[in-house]
Amino acid sequence: MSSSVLYDAPGPKARVRNRVFTVVGGLAVLALLVFAVLRLNAKGQFAPEMWDIFNYAGVRTSIRDGVLTTLKVFAVAAVLSLVLGVLLAVGRLSDHKAVRWFATGFIELFRAVPLLITIYVLWVLFLTYRSDLGLSGDNTGFWALVIGLTVYNGSVQAEVLRAGINSVPRGQREAAYALGMRKTQVMMTVLVPQAVRAMLPTIISQLVVTLKDTSLGYVITYQELLFQLQQLAGNTVVNDDNPYVPVIIVGGAIYIAMCLALSALASWIERRGRRAKTGIRVAGAEQPLAAGDALDVVDQSAAPADASAGKTN
């Protein structure tokens, strides 16, 4: 504990006090857990029959279908949002005023509007013009969700990439131009690869947000994991009660496992990048907010780095 800002290395008195607080705090946390468990138990949520539902093939199939649908939406939205992100980032740095303004307006608009509203509006539009767009049945929800996620996360990824491109030292670009490379060549072979490498942890952390936001499909009644879970719990009756608690515990565990796996990948890449002595500094893997401004996260992670760099010199 000696490395803490708030606390000195504890002496004999402080050690006794800490031990007392440890017991009291431990008891308080335990009491909270016991209260929750007793309450759930009293309502019969831990009855064996409640948990027996996971032995039925139908229940398992619907959970598996939900997971697969969520992953399908996530995969398509992730790829499309990365493509859109590169396009918008390059567009925002373009030399042509019209392109730059369009990209800036697009990014700012869709970053400011809640994702849920974008998805809902797209869904209503797709439902209205369903026959013209050639969509049918489940497809409407799928594309509304995917396009909504793409538009929002693409805007955020664009800002992340732009911060990455701007963090490439200016000499690199000047050297490339001096070698006679064209604008597109400079962007695609010099700037973007370095930006992606530097920003990879942040990009993946934003993908975690994309994965979490697929659950918004619940609101437009699209059959992804959360909707499946809710339907499952709502339509099953065990002991005159709906098994919401078991279903939510299982579903929550699936979501948390998927998100933690992706976050672990991000921080692994961050650690790997930090090891390298060459190239520009790799950004932190800190997860941006679900609807947060990735740029701000990037700025924060860059600022302390500069401060600490200044201190060591």
- Contact flag: residue 121 with another protein (CB under 8 A): yes
- Contact flag: residue 203 with another protein (CB under 8 A): no
Judge contact between 124 and 48, C-beta under 8 A.
Answer: no
DSSP helix/strand/coil, 277: coil
Segment near another protein (CB under 8 A); pick from 80-88, 111-119, 135-143, 193-201 = 111-119
Judge contact between 285 and 267, C-beta under 8 A.
Answer: yes
Q: Which long-range contacts (CB under 8 A, 24 or more apart) does 272-277 make?
A: 273/197, 273/198, 273/200, 273/201
Q: Rounded to the nearest whole angstrom, what is the least distance from the CB of residue 135 to another protein in the complex?
A: 16
Dump the DSSP string for 177-237: HHTT--HHHIIIIIIHHHHHHHHHHHHHHHHHHHHHHGGGGGTTT--SHHHHHHHHHHH--
The position carrying tokens 């590169």 is 86
- Contact flag: residue 306 with another protein (CB under 8 A): no
Binding to another protein (CB under 8 A) within 278-297 occurs at: 286-287, 289-293, 296-297
Complex with another protein: residue 9 or 79, whichever CB lies closer: 9
Q: Which of 299, 305, 306, 309 binds another protein (CB under 8 A)?
A: 299
Dump the DSSP string for 240-270: TB--HHHHHHHHHHHHHHHHHHHHHHHHHHH
- Contact flag: residue 259 with another protein (CB under 8 A): yes
Give the contact letters, 216-245, x = binds to another protein (CB under 8 A), - = no.
x-xx------x--xx--x--------x-xx
Calpha distance 164→228 (Å, rounded): 39
Binding site for another protein (CB under 8 A): 1, 3-8, 10, 18, 21-22, 25-26, 29, 36, 39-40, 43, 45, 109, 112-117, 120-121, 124-125, 128, 208, 212-216, 218-219, 226, 229-230, 233, 242, 244-245, 248, 251-252, 255-256, 259-260, 263, 286-287, 289-293, 296-297, 299-300, 304, 307
